[in-house]
A and B are shown apart, each in its own frame.
Chain A
Amino acid sequence: MEQEIRACLDQKRYREAFDLLLPEYQNKVFRLACAMLGDAALAEDLAQDVFVRIWKALAGYRGQSALSTWIYAITRNACLTALRKGAGRKEISVEEPGVGQAVEALSAPAEAPARGGMDVTGLVAQLPEKHAQVLRLYYMEEKSYEEVSRLLEMPMGTVKVYLHRGRKQLAQALARSKMEKRTG
């Protein structure tokens, strides 16, 4: 597909190139934005902005890097700008008292089969930003380290470390919560 898109770009058929790349990359761009921002509605709005930017910049794409690399770089930059403009989310450890409610939400449905009430998104959002981004993207991308590494432009080793720490923190919080419940 990338070759087809490049062929259109080489022949300056920008509209055709855009029509090909939109369905090809829309979900990837959305997931990357969703992982970085932690909010699906915001991510979809931002993904739209990203494609408008891509359209405006398409004539300037020289093909020095892979098209996907170029598109993901635009998405990451847009997300970083959005995060900077945002409220400046404070990074909180799951050890902190305020996180107790979110842990509570996670632990309660784990005991009951119905998981509708779990605020996992909220709990993940309390992790350090990079850990949370890697965690979200890992599960969105069908547990592929390669995809997470490529989308976030992060070494695979770093992805594994962040994922390990994130999952461990969540599991510790959940196990601790269960234990506290048992002991009263």
Chain B
Amino acid sequence: MACAEFEDLLADYAELSGESRLRVDAHAATCADCQEFLDALHAVDATLAAQFAGREVSAGFGQAVRRRVQRKTAVRRPSFIPELLDFVGWSAIIAVIAFTLYWASALIPISNEAAKAFNANAGWAVAAAFLLVSFLIGLHSFVELKY
């Protein structure tokens, strides 16, 4: 066995500073066990480098991946369904509120004919405004698609 004192230094031989390397070399020159350990390290290094260095994928790797990726179709795009539901939901809520307000206004007794006509027009105006707002909310939702 190599001398315990030198074994760690020998294992890091390639990284030793000049002075440490001289000390290790001087010792290894007189110690057969340490010289053997150093030779074994060199053999291990050479063998592992020959075995593993420069490993690359096989020639058809890229094509094989591309074939598999094509089968998987494109990148999944986000669904439009949540945005569509947003649009429909807000439209429904706002339409219900608008028509409720319209029918409620029709129940209020108004004697003057001009006031009645104004009230009816105002009802339609409110309904139209609500529908417009619901449309804008839906549109905003479409624009803000999250990728």
Which A residues contact B (CB, under 8 angstroms)? 12, 14-15, 18, 22-23, 26-27, 30-31, 34, 40, 44, 47-48, 51-52, 55-56, 58-59, 106, 109-110, 115, 118, 120-121, 124, 135-136, 139-140, 142-143, 164, 167-168, 170-172, 174-176, 178-179
Q: Could you give 15 example pairs across A and B, Cβ below 8 Å?
A: A26-B57, A31-B55, A52-B69, A55-B72, A56-B76, A59-B76, A59-B77, A120-B47, A139-B48, A139-B53, A140-B52, A164-B11, A167-B41, A175-B37, A176-B1
With A44-B57, A56-B75, A171-B37 given, is the CB distance from A18 to B11 under 8 Å? Answer: no
Alpha-carbon distance between A52 and B61 when the two chains are bound, in angstroms? 12
For residue A58, which residue of chain B has the nearest CB? B75
List of B residues within 8 angstroms of A59 by Cβ: 75-77, 147
Chain B interface size band reads 35 or more
How many whole Å from A142's CB to the nearest CB in chain B?
7
B36 engages A179 (CB within 8 Å): yes
User: What's the dominant secondary structure at chain A's contact region?
Assistant: helix
Q: Residue among A14, A44, A55 with the most chain B CB within 10 A?
A: A55
Alpha-carbon distance between A68 and B65 when the two chains are bound, in angstroms? 18
List of A residues within 8 angstroms of B11 by Cβ: 164, 167-168, 171
For residue A47, which residue of chain B has the nearest CB? B57
**Binary per-residue interface labels of chain B (1-18) against chain A in the complex, 1 for a CB within 8 Å, 0 otherwise:** 110000110011000000
Q: Residue among A27, A55, A175 with the most chain B CB within 10 A?
A: A175
List of B residues within 8 angstroms of A135 by Cβ: 48
Which B residues contact A (CB, under 8 angstroms)? 1-2, 7-8, 11-12, 33, 36-37, 39-41, 43-45, 47-58, 61-62, 64-66, 68-69, 72, 74-77, 147
B44 interface neighbour in A23, A164, A167, Cβ under 8 Å: A167
For residue A142, which residue of chain B has the nearest CB? B53
With contacts A48-B64, A51-B68, A175-B39 known, what are 19 further pairs, Cβ within 8 A?
A27-B55, A30-B55, A34-B55, A51-B65, A52-B65, A59-B75, A59-B147, A110-B47, A135-B48, A139-B51, A140-B54, A164-B8, A167-B45, A168-B7, A171-B41, A174-B43, A175-B33, A175-B40, A178-B36
